[in-house]
Amino acid sequence: MSTTPETPPPATEDRTVAILAYITIIGFIIAIVMHGSKKTALGTYHLRQCLGLFIAAVAFWFAMMILAFVPIIGPIIGLLALPVGGIFFFVLWIIGLMAAANGQQKPLPVLGAYCEKWFANAFA
Q: Where are the beta strands (DSSP E) in the chain?
A: none
The one-letter amino acid code at 93 reads W
Rounded Cα distance between 36 and 58, Å, is: 25
Tally of domains within the chain? 1
Domain that holds residue 45: 12-118
pLDDT of residue 116: 87
pLDDT of residue 7: 52
pLDDT of residue 78: 82
pTM score over 0.85: no
Would you say residue 105 lies in a domain?
A: yes
Would you say residue 5 lies in a domain?
A: no
pLDDT of residue 100: 93
Would you say residue 56 lies in a domain?
A: yes
Rounded Cα distance between 67 and 88, Å, is: 19
Would you say residue 123 lies in a domain?
A: no
Would you say residue 2 lies in a domain?
A: no
Q: What is the mean pLDDT of each run of 10 residues along the chain (124 residues)?
A: 52 81 91 88 91 94 88 85 93 95 91 89 81
Complete DSSP assignment for 49-73:
HHHHHHHHHHHHHHHHHHHTTSTTH
pLDDT of residue 9: 56
